[in-house]
Amino acid sequence: MATEILMPALSPTMEEGTLAKWLVKEGDKVKSGQIIAEIETDKATMEFEAVDEGTVGRILVAEGTAGVKVNTPIAVLVEEGESPAASPAAAPAPAAAPPAAPVAAPPPVQAAPMRAVAPDTSPDWPAGTPMKTMTVREALREAMAEEMRANPNVMLMGEEVGEYQGAYKISQGLLDEFGPRRVVDTPITEIGFTGIAVGAAWGGLNPIVEFMTFNFAMQAIDHIINSAAKTNYMSGGQLGCPIVFRGANGAAARVAAQHSQDFAAWYAAIPGLKVVMPYSAADAKGLLKQAIRDPNPVIFLENEILYGRSFEVPDLPDFTIPFGKARVWREGTDATIVSFGIGMGYALEAADKLAHEGISAEVIDLRTLRPIDYDTVLASVMKTNRCVTVEEGFPVGSIGNHLSATIMERAFDHLDAPVINCAGKDVPMPYAANLEKLALVTTADVVAAVKSVCYR
Amino acid sequence: MAARKTSDKSNVSKDELLKFYREMLLIRRFEEKAGQLYGMGLIGGFCHLYIGQEAVVVGLEACTKDGDKRITSYRDHGHMLACGMDAKGVMAELTGRIGGYSKGKGGSMHMFSKQRHFYGGHGIVGAQVPLGAGLALSDKYKGNDNVTFAYFGDGAANQGQVYETYNMAELWSLPVVFVIENNQYAMGTSLKRSTKSTTLFGRGLAYGISGEQVDGMDVLAVKAAGQKAVAHCRAGNGPYILEMMTYRYRGHSMSDPAKYRTREEVQKMKDEKDAIEHVRDLLIGGGLASEDDLKSIDRDIKAIVNDSAEFAKESPEPDVSELWTDIYA
Ligand SMILES: Cc1ncc(C[n+]2csc(CCOP(=O)(O)OP(=O)(O)O)c2C)c(N)n1
Ligand SMILES: [Mg+2]
């Protein structure tokens, strides 16, 4: 049986090349792996090996020929005793394959602009549930402890999480309860232990990786994005990565540029990740439990300043908060303020101040940034016709920017004023006390923005 | 740590011993003052004191010539004072004032002086190591014989980028002295809880880099080792590793209760290994200086430190327009 030798593609971008030189002639015997020709691509001259054994029956493209398209037959290999004339190349190759079916248009990034807005307004826990007061720190610790009790494959690793009881004391007591097999102190080697945790997740564990702060996760971001976030897709759905990356995010106080950065918008940009940024202790608890149970990599962004704040938390043996469900903290009619994480502090304070001035602001806590609950935001904007977003991160490419675009696409006709984004300033965080205050978003900024969208 | 061998003082002059005493004392008193100002709320954020480790930078700075560079972590006040940066400018940076080395924008962890060839002041553990090798690359490229000192901690020694740097530094014969300040703890993690390969300089051997362990509480031993390392680098033989066995007396930063070690352990170090006491003993015991001589140095140092604190309180906060300057060169 004669075989055609086709012009090879020798680089990902090669479409044609020059058949620079034949190293065999008609009638020569070739072995598989033998170099039979030299081919010039746009980048280099490459040696071309025979795949099959046989005798060179005919050479179809003479050496020195330029512009030979990839997959053009260049020679025919015949078996012992076979006549070269019997080769299929004697007959002209069939014309190009029939035109492929039209490629389906990719789905739009967002849902279709006109999709109906249907916010989920169900309560997070049943009415009448007894409540208890606890700090965000305690809520996070309880969430981890409960999930570790419930699932033996949940383990915690990170710098100082064990014997030191956590740099910010989130993991206090966990080493005592769960032992060093499940509460693992790591050396300072973020990219290393993050990769190890991702591998462990593939192997069937449910690791919680604590970054002392998310500033140090920049050392590990390759594994977070290239390994954890993308592998389920790259493996055709085989290799999900049930892992939680958690730790303090954003500015603390006076710790300067390298230790004061909000990564919310960075991680929210990555398909394959889920991104959570709670404000209250109840959300911290319910969302962290949900994150630990989620079969995907979850970025869980905490805040050092919020750790010590107290909130009411439902006193239930087990409760979770679903992802993609915003919480309306305060209903209002004149303007919508959308925020998340520590930004909620400014949003709620601003709403109080505005109420004194006769402006009724609705305040929405997104709680999760991937997925985002667009419907709750849109329904509110359709009611108030005005929107201000609040976050601490950098202003360029912010969550607020993204929401503004979505509101414009899906609720343009409902807007009575342009959406205003309140964000951190477009500067690295300065150390000086006075400059640091200026770099952060303030309640006054939010009040001014709401007044501005209300033309007041 | 090995018991202190009475270090070989045959080559050390009275003047040099007095200089060491002065420089180490300046760092210690400066740091004590910084700790006070922190307690008063004049310094904020993270503040990592160098108390206990003074002999390392003072001994190594004695091996440098003009043009040599240095780079370190956030625990950087001592390095700056030792390389001749002004105490006032350092203290005013700690208080976040315009008179500080970074105009108040960097703070304790991020100060720089191009003039003194001090390249920071880095907050990300281990990041300064390749940066230091890069500084050395620039000198090698230009063909001079300057050397860079890249300081990092025992905790930082576990970062992967350190080993990527070792490989390239030796491959390219970069004139860099890797100075591991092994104070035995990375925050609350003792060295032996973070690695089974606790002889840190030895890791360089895998990349072909020579090195040695040095009593970092003995300024004379530090200087002797530093001279050897610097000669190796200046002669074009590539990098060298000095593992300085040292100890920090205070917590990791101002907010660290340091419960991971005993009071006795710290006290033992202070009693038996203190670098300043060591030089004081050599001076007094050797009849090179009197108590009064040293007291007069103490007074000078106190005045310098008090002046720096006054300056740091009086220097104004940066003008609000500074928020928007220096983002681009
Ligand atoms: C990449 C990174 N991870 C974690 C931290 C938090 N952190 C700051 S200092 C430190 C310990 C470093 O110890 P070592 O290198 O021994 O230096 P020392 O503080 O003893 O001088 C840690 C974990 C950080 N700043 N950067
Ligand atoms: Mg250390």
C-alpha distances (whole Å) from A208 to each of A454, B90, B110, B306 are 44, 40, 31, 48
Please report, to the nearest 10 degrees, the dihedral formed by the alpha carbons of residues A112, A325, A204, A193 taken in order.
100
Q: Which residues surround ligand 2, an ion (CB under 5 A)?
A: B 153-154, 183, 186
Instruction: Give tens-digit pLDDT for A125-143.
Output: 999 999 999 999 999 999 9
pLDDT at residue A99 is higher than 60: no
Which residue of chain B is at minimal alpha-carbon distance from A428? B327
- For ligand 1, atom 11, the nearest C-alpha belongs to B186
> What does the pLDDT read at residue B55?
98
pLDDT at residue B7 is higher than 70: no
pLDDT at residue A289 is higher than 60: yes
- Is residue B1 very low, low, confident or very high in pLDDT (cuts 50, 70, 90)? very low
Show which residues of A are catalytic: 190, 259
Name beta bridge partners: B240. Answer: B177
Instruction: Give tens-digit pLDDT for A207-222.
Output: 999 999 999 999 999 9
SS3 of residue A135 by DSSP? strand
Q: Is A212 in the pocket of ligand 1 (CB under 6 A)?
A: yes
Q: Which amino acid appears at position B108 of this protein?
A: S
> What does the pLDDT read at residue A85?
58
pLDDT > 90: what percent of chain A? 85
pLDDT at residue B3 is higher than 50: no
Do strands B189-190 and B185-186 pair parallel, antiparallel, or not at all (unpaired)?
antiparallel
- For ligand 1, atom 13, the nearest C-alpha belongs to B186
Q: Chain B partners of A394 at a C-beta cutoff of 8 Å?
A: none
Please tell me the distance in Å from B298's CA to the nearest CA on chain A. Answer: 31
Contact at CB, B155 and A188, closer than 8 angstroms = yes
Question: Running DSSP on this structure, what letter comes out for residue A90?
Answer: G
Task: Please count the CA atoms within 13 angstroms of the CA of A56 that sit on its side-chain side.
Answer: 22
| Separation of alpha carbons B204 and B170, rounded Å | 9
Rounded to a whole number, what is the largest CA-CA distance in chain B?
A: 57
B247, B273 Cβ separation under 8 angstroms: yes
> What does the pLDDT read at residue A51?
85
Which residue of chain A is at minimal alpha-carbon distance from B252? A167
- Ligand index nearest the alpha carbon of residue A220: 1
- For ligand 1, atom 21, the nearest C-alpha belongs to B153
Which residue, B282, B289, B307, B286, is CA-closest to B89? B307
User: Which of B45, B160, B318 is nearest residue A254 as measured by Cβ atoms?
Assistant: B45
Looking at the complex, does the CB of residue A395 fall below 8 Å from at least one CB of chain B?
no
Task: Please count the CA atoms within 13 angstroms of the CA of B253 that sit on its side-chain side.
Answer: 16
B92, B314 Cβ separation under 8 angstroms: no
Interacting residues of A431 by C-beta distance below 8 A, sequence separation 6+: A254, A256, A257, B44, B45, B93, B96, B102, B104, B105, B106, B107, B108, B110
Our CA angle for B287, B288, B294, nearest 5°, is 105
Q: Is the peptide bond before A371 cis (omega within 30 degrees of 0)?
A: yes
Segment among A110-114, A220-224, B109-113, B241-245 with least mean pLDDT? A110-114
Instruction: Please give the distance, rounded to the nearest whole angstrom, from the Cα atom of residue B156 to the centre of ligand 2.
Output: 8
SS3 of residue A99 by DSSP? coil
Q: Is B153 in the pocket of ligand 1 (CB under 6 A)?
A: yes
Which residue, B241, B89, B116, B104, is CA-closest to B177? B241
A312, A135 Cβ separation under 8 angstroms: no
> What does the pLDDT read at residue A102?
58
Q: Chain B partners of A253 at a C-beta cutoff of 8 Å?
A: 44-45
Task: Please count the CA atoms within 13 angstroms of the CA of A224 that sit on its side-chain side.
Answer: 28
Which residue of chain B is at minimal alpha-carbon distance from A429? B105
Which residue, B107, B71, B113, is CA-closest to B91? B107
Instruction: Give tens-digit pLDDT for B284-298.
Output: 999 999 999 999 999
> What does the pLDDT read at residue A89?
46
Instruction: Please give the distance, rounded to the nearest whole angstrom, from the Cα atom of residue B76 to the centre of ligand 1.
Output: 13
- Is residue B4 very low, low, confident or very high in pLDDT (cuts 50, 70, 90)? low
Instruction: Give tens-digit pLDDT for B320-329.
Output: 999 999 999 9
SS3 of residue A266 by DSSP? helix
> What does the pLDDT read at residue A90?
45
- Is residue A52 very low, low, confident or very high in pLDDT (cuts 50, 70, 90)? confident
> What does the pLDDT read at residue B6?
55
| Separation of alpha carbons B7 and B87, rounded Å | 30
Long-range CB contact pairs, B132-135, < 8 A, 24+? B132/B69, B132/B71, B132/B165, B132/B176, B132/B178, B133/B165, B133/B168, B133/B169, B133/B174, B133/B176, B133/B239, B135/B69, B135/B71, B135/B176
Q: Which amino acid appears at position A394 of this protein?
A: F
> What does the pLDDT read at residue B255?
87
pLDDT at residue A92 is higher than 60: no
| Separation of alpha carbons B222 and B273, rounded Å | 14
> What does the pLDDT read at residue A429?
98
Contact at CB, A187 and B158, closer than 8 angstroms = yes
Which residue, A402, A386, A392, A407, is CA-closest to A449? A386
| Separation of alpha carbons B289 and B279, rounded Å | 11
Cβ-based neighbour number of residue B115 at 10 Å? 9
What's chain B's length in residues? 329
Best residue among B183, B187, B260 to mutate for probing ligand 1's pocket (most ligand atoms within 8 Å of CB) is B187
| Separation of alpha carbons B160 and A196, rounded Å | 14
> What does the pLDDT read at residue A47?
87
- Ligand index nearest the alpha carbon of residue B256: 1
Looking at the complex, does the CB of residue B173 fall below 8 Å from at least one CB of chain A?
no
A284, A292 Cβ separation under 8 angstroms: no
pLDDT at residue A93 is higher than 50: no
C-alpha distances (whole Å) from A91 to each of A27, A75, A81, A86, B278 are 20, 13, 20, 9, 96
Mean pLDDT of A52-72: 93
Instruction: Give tens-digit pLDDT for A308-321.
Output: 999 999 999 999 99
Interacting residues of A304 by C-beta distance below 8 A, sequence separation 6+: A168, A213, A248, A250, A252, A253
B51, A261 Cβ separation under 8 angstroms: no
SS3 of residue A300 by DSSP? strand
Mean pLDDT of A363-387: 98
Mean pLDDT of B237-261: 95
Mean pLDDT of chain B: 96
Mean pLDDT of A224-237: 96
Instruction: Give tens-digit pLDDT for A153-194.
Output: 999 999 999 999 999 999 999 999 999 999 999 999 999 999
Looking at the complex, does the CB of residue A218 fall below 8 Å from at least one CB of chain B?
yes
SS3 of residue A247 by DSSP? strand
Mean pLDDT of A335-342: 98
Instruction: Give tens-digit pLDDT for A390-442.
Output: 999 999 999 999 999 999 999 999 999 999 999 999 999 999 999 999 999 99
Instruction: Give tens-digit pLDDT for B31-79.
Output: 999 999 999 999 999 999 999 999 999 999 999 999 999 999 999 999 9
| ipTM for the predicted complex | 0.92
B238, B205 Cβ separation under 8 angstroms: no
B153, B115 Cβ separation under 8 angstroms: no
CATH 3.40.1190.20 matches B9-19+53-65+121-304: no
> What does the pLDDT read at residue A116?
87
| Separation of alpha carbons A115 and A252, rounded Å | 40
Q: Chain B partners of A256 at a C-beta cutoff of 8 Å?
A: 45, 105-107, 109-110, 123
Instruction: Please give the distance, rounded to the nearest whole angstrom, from the Cα atom of residue B232 to the centre of ligand 1.
Output: 29
Question: Comparing B294 with A14, which gets the higher pLDDT?
Answer: B294
A438, B321 Cβ separation under 8 angstroms: no
| Separation of alpha carbons B146 and B135, rounded Å | 10
Contact at CB, A435 and B318, closer than 8 angstroms = yes
Looking at the complex, does the CB of residue A161 fall below 8 Å from at least one CB of chain B?
no
Looking at the complex, does the CB of residue B92 fall below 8 Å from at least one CB of chain A?
no
Please tell me the distance in Å from B262's CA to the nearest CA on chain A. Answer: 14
- Is residue A338 very low, low, confident or very high in pLDDT (cuts 50, 70, 90)? very high
Task: Report the nearest atom of ligand 1 relative to the CA of B125.
Answer: 26
| Separation of alpha carbons B56 and B292, rounded Å | 26
Mean pLDDT of B129-152: 98
A270, A229 Cβ separation under 8 angstroms: yes
Which residue, A139, A171, A132, A137, is CA-closest to A154? A171
Mean pLDDT of B304-322: 98
Cβ-based neighbour number of residue B281 at 10 Å? 12
> What does the pLDDT read at residue A2?
87
Task: Report the nearest atom of ligand 1 relative to the CA of B153.
Answer: 15
Mean pLDDT of chain A: 93
Do strands A35-40 and B176-182 pair parallel, antiparallel, or not at all (unpaired)?
unpaired
Interacting residues of A113 by C-beta distance below 8 A, sequence separation 6+: A409, A410
Please tell me the distance in Å from A233's CA to the nearest CA on chain B. Answer: 28
